């Protein structure tokens, strides 16, 4: 008997009608002969309501540590509600089911409340129940610490719960139901010729996820890769009687027969570019800048340093998340006496566009195609960064759509 | 160091402002030198919202057993939220605190989901935390079964949770904060001369509670009596800086110095009177009627049988809860061929008025005073029932207020 994990996000369980739709999808997999575990998020909007309350309860806080463990107690209640409701719904459809909270399985997590990591998922209880033919309806996003407190995994953590459960019960696959029907070669809202991928490798998905294609949480993909759990992304929004599509399977590179050089074009408008002018050209400068930013937990992405032709000084450009930009400027300004640069400027009108593909490892000319396609459209490249399976460029935000479409065509993704 | 349990109902924690008010009341008791455990209900309205969802999820049920265990999973989330929020609020006031769910303490309950009874409350964990000076904020209304499922105690169960915790940690007292400031000699909305009692015995409170004075849940009073936990009823609705009043202490009869013959006048409009006419006058008739009602879980309260003067038949009158009236009539109608009565009638325009007092045990003339006072006002008595510490009469509902005021005066309760 094969075990299957299904995961439904907040929009898929937003109300009772949608929970019944989820119930039908689960019942269909049971009828197809699977032992099913279902991981659910809080009903859409519920988590925000709960978070707002915790903010209110914490409003009197002045210089006190945030009560993260109690935040978790409040917020984890959302998934508890969905799990109970789906278990009731399934039973009422004649499908044996019961709910499982994180502490009941248990999903053992560390005590980094609000962003805990899963340490261990002893699976005996779950497997025993599933072997009896009972659907396990599991509250996502939550675990229990070794001293018995509730810990949540952070936003999107239900994806991670689902993959961890799939690994623990040795499921054949973890199906992540969401509001899109798969992973596309690029954002279909920008390029109508975007194609749904039938398969994508873990590494490519990781780059996609971290670059703003918000289909799967990064940690869940990392975990799936580590545990070699095939993950399928597909839509829960199907009419009664209609089967969901095949979606996109995220799996090991080796299992993808049809190799592509580039699998997708991603973009992100969440970046801001910070430029430092007139840096003294001596060792230790970079370390002083990025050390100060790292100490303040500001994530720096792309970095480029250029030497002015006319002087002994250099310019430094780097990108940070837009929400960190003001703080990053403050930090470097505070370090100005020590570092000794002349001026700092922020540009928020930038976008990062990336081409991603495991084929880059073995193919040359990928960068050439990219730069050629952008040049042809008159798109100026401000910063470049690369990894083994990705090339990213920072451009003027106004050119985002143009650049995405040009690259999508240049790599033949329109004709997949 | 004395331990104190405080309990706050749904209206006392209905929003963040009220939760902060609760926080101040708790902080004051901590400052007064108590080790405090606080038991909280769900925020007012939350339980109803959750119950409505479970009804919706169960709507597809046709001939299936109600999923009571999953109902409990959903509904228990309400208290979880309040406990987390109050713990955060207390910390932000500088008062060390943490939340405790039923399964964390644990509050061990039987598996009668939705109306579970508390079996045991191992108190080591709580006492250890309280000894460290940490306020224990406990989700009321919930326990955990011996096989690790969430079980709720039924409506009003948080009072019972509070008393059980008080017994387990050997608290000096269990303070039940509610929206009234104590137990009155009668309903102040009917008799403005009603007086707040400083003390009332468990037995009297039990009669009051079961007669419609909805201050404390009956089971919590029974438990308090069994464990000899003094319970205090007082109001949570005090302004910042203002101390709550002394409320009313519910305690052992022996601890009440000032003995009264009658402590209070209670009334209930929730009754319906059912009359069976022309019953055959032979053994087994009562057993047939009340056996059938008991089998259908219909609670019968007052019963009186009278013989018709002119025939060999009798009439039987009894009362049931208004919501059971139609069902009760159906049941006796179905048994009509077997029982052989002539007609059945229902009267819902009745009220039960009762005088309650432990002094009745040792004083005569209580009934005489009652009947005299009612006769003087022209109130006709339809049915009478008595217990050791209570006399109840069923009257025309239109006379309820008149009767309550007359009795309140007759026993001198106006001048307490």
Judged against a pLDDT cut of 90, whether residue A240 lies above it is answered with: no
Residue A62, pLDDT > 80, answer: no
ipTM above 0.85, yes or no: no
Q: Which residues of chain B neighbour A87 with C-beta distances below 8 Å?
A: 67, 70, 73
Smallest CA–CA distance from B82 into chain A, residue: A74
Mean pLDDT of chain A: 91
State the span(s) of chain A assigned CATH 3.30.2130.10.
Answer: 350-415
pLDDT at B212 over 70: no
| pLDDT tops 60 at residue B215 | yes
Q: What is the pLDDT of residue B328?
A: 95
Work out the pLDDT band at B225, boundaries 50, 70, 90: very high
**What are the residues whose beta carbons fall under 8 Å from the beta carbon of B138, sequence distance 6 or more?**
B37, B38, B39, B40, B83, B99, B100, B105, B161, B165
- Output the CA angle B52-B56-B61, nearest 5 degrees: 130
Phi-psi region of B148 (alpha: psi -120 to 50; beta: other; left: phi over 0): left
Instruction: Quote the CA–CA distance of A399 and B206 in Å, as a whole number.
Output: 77
Neighbours of A238 (CB within 10 A): 17
For residue B309, give how far its alpha carbon lies from the nearest alpha carbon of chain A (Å). Answer: 57
CATH of domain A3-255: 3.40.1160.10
Contact B85 A101 (CB under 8 A): no
Please list the residues that pair with B251 across neighbouring strands.
Answer: B201
Nearest Cα residue to B234 out of B42, B25, B89, B90: B25
Which CATH topology does A276-346 take?
Answer: Alpha-Beta Plaits (3.30.70)
- Does residue A144 have a pLDDT over 60? yes
pLDDT for residue A61? 47
Mutant choice from B13, B55, B76, B84 vs A, greatest count of A C-beta within 10 A: B84
CA distance A298 to chain B (A): 28
> Which one of B67, B102, B104, B105 would you mutate to disrupt binding with A, by most A Cβ within 10 Å of its Cβ?
B67
Alpha carbon B66 to chain centroid distance? 25
Q: For the domain B3-254, what is the CATH code?
A: 3.40.1160.10
Task: Output the six-digit token pair for A361.
Answer: 């490892």
The per-residue pLDDT for A245 is 82
**CATH code that applies to domain B259-416:** 3.30.2130.10
Contact of A146 with A373, CB cutoff 8 Å: no
**At which residue do the structure tokens 């919590």 appear?**
B220
Residue pair B103/B150 in contact by the 8 Å Cβ criterion: yes
CA distance A125 to A189: 44
The CATH 3.40.1160.10 domain(s) of chain B lie at 3-254
pLDDT over 70 (residue B62): no
Tell the residue number behind the tokens 């053992």, with chain if given.
A108
In the 3-class helix/strand/coil scheme, how is chain B assigned residue by residue? CCEEEEEECHHHHCCHHHHHHHHHHHHHHHHCCCEEEEEECCCCCHHHHHHHHHHHHCCCCCCCCCCHHHHHHHHCHHHHHHHHHHHHHHHHCCCCEEEECCCCCCCEECCCCCCCCEEECCCHHHHHHHHCCCEEEEECCEEECCCCCEEECCCCHHHHHHHHHHHHCCCCEEEEEECCCCCECCCCCCCCCCCECCEEEHHHHHHHHHCCCCCCCHHHHHHHHHHCCCEEEEECCCCCCCCCCCCEEEECHHHCCCCCCCCEEEEECCEEEEEEEEEECCCCHHHHHHHHHHHCCCCEEEEEEEECCCCCEEEEEEEEEHHHHHHHHHHHHHCHHHHCCCEEEEECCEEEEEEECHHHHCCCCHHHHHHHHHHHCCCCCCEEEEECCEEEEEEEHHHHHHHHHHHHHHCCHHHC
| Higher pLDDT pick, B40 / A387 | B40
pLDDT digits (tens, 9 = 90+) for A327-380: 999 999 999 998 889 999 999 999 999 999 998 988 888 999 999 999 999 999
Q: A67 near A55, Cβ under 8 Å?
A: no
pLDDT digit string, tens, across residues A86-120:
999 999 999 999 999 999 999 999 999 988 999 99
Residue A162 near residue A176 (C-beta atoms within 8 A): yes
User: A60 and B89 in contact by Cβ < 8 A?
Assistant: yes
The answer to whether the beta carbons of residues A21 and A40 sit under 8 Å apart is: no
Helices in A76-112 by DSSP H: which ranges? 77-92
Sequence-distant (6+) residues with CB within 8 A of B102 are B76, B109, B139, B142, B143, B144, B150, B151, B161
- The whole-number pLDDT of residue B67 equals 52
CA–CA dist B65, A116 (Å, integer): 38
If you ran DSSP here, which 8-state letter would residue A65 be given? P
Residue A319 pairs in a beta bridge with A273
Q: What is the pLDDT of residues A33-61, one digit of tens each?
A: 999 999 999 999 888 889 888 888 875 44
Are the Cβ atoms of B70 and A104 closer than 8 angstroms? no
CB A266 within 8 A of CB A283: no
Q: Where in chain B is the domain with CATH 3.30.2130.10?
A: 259-416
Q: Which residues from chain B sit within 8 angstroms of residue A59, using beta carbons?
A: 16, 92
* CB atoms B54 and A92 under 8 Å: no
> Is residue A407 within a helix (H) or strand (E), and if so which, with residue range?
helix A400-410
Reported confidence tier of residue B238, pLDDT bands at 50, 70, 90: confident
- Cα separations in angstroms, B306 against B275, B317, B325: 11, 8, 21
Phi, psi of A375 (to 5 degrees): -60, -40
Mean pLDDT along residues A21-33: 96
pLDDT at B123 over 80: yes
**Which pLDDT tens digit goes with each residue over B228-237?**
999 999 998 8
The answer to whether the CB atoms of B77 and A74 lie below 8 A apart is no
Q: How many CB pairs under 8 A join A and B?
A: 128
CB contact under 8 A, B85 and A57: yes
Smallest CA–CA distance, residue A149 to chain B, in Å, is 8
Contact check, Cβ <8 Å, A19/B98? no
Top CATH class, A350-415: alpha beta
Q: Using 50, 70 and 90 to split pLDDT, how confident is the model at B70?
A: very high
Of residues B380 and B215, which shows the higher confidence score? B380
């Amino acid at each position: 008997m094969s075990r299957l994990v299904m995961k439904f996000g907040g929009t898929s369980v937003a109300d009772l009608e949608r929970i019944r739709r989820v119930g039908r999808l689960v019942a269909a997999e049971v009828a197809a002969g699977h032992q099913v575990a279902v991981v659910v998020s809080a009903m859409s909007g519920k988590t925000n309501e709960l978070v707002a309350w915790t903010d209110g309860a914490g409003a009197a806080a002045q210089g006190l540590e945030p009560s993260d463990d109690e935040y978790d107690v409040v917020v984890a209640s959302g998934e508890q509600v969905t799990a109970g409701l789906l278990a009731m719904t399934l039973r009422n459809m004649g499908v044996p089911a019961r709910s499982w909270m994180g502490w009941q399985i248990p999903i053992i997590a560390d005590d980094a409340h609000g962003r805990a990591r899963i340490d261990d998922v002893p699976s005996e209880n779950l497997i025993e129940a599933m072997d009896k033919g009972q659907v396990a309806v599991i509250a996502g996003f939550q675990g229990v610490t070794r001293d018995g407190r509730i810990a949540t995994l952070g936003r999107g953590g239900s994806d991670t719960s689902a993959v961890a459960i799939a690994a623990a019960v040795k499921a054949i696959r973890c199906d992540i139901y969401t509001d899109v029907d798969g992973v596309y070669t690029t954002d279909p809202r920008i390029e109508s010729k975007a194609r749904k991928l039938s398969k994508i490798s873990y590494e490519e998905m990781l780059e996609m996820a971290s670059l703003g294609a918000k289909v799967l949480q990064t940690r869940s993909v990392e975990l799936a890769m580590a545990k070699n759990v095939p993950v399928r992304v597909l839509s829960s929004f199907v009419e009664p009687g209609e089967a969901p599509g095949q979606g996109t399977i995220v799996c090991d590179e080796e299992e993808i027969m049809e190799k592509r050089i580039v699998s997708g074009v991603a973009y992100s408008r969440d970046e801001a570019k910070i430029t430092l002018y007139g840096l003294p050209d001596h060792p230790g400068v970079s370390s002083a800048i990025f050390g100060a930013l790292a100490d303040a937990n500001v994530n720096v992405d792309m970095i480029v340093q250029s030497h002015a032709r006319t002087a002994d000084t250099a310019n430094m450009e780097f990108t940070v998340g837009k929400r960190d930009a003001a703080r990053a400027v403050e930090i470097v300004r505070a370090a100005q006496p020590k570092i000794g640069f002349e001026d700092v400027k922020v540009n928020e009108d930038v976008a990062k566009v990336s081409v991603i593909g495991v084929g880059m490892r073995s193919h040359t000319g990928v960068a050439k195609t990219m730069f050629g396609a952008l040049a042809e459209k008159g798109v100026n490249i401000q910063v470049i960064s690369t990894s083994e399976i990705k090339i990213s460029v920072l451009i003027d935000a106004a050119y985002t759509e143009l650049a995405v479409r040009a690259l999508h065509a240049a790599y033949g993704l329109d004709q997949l």
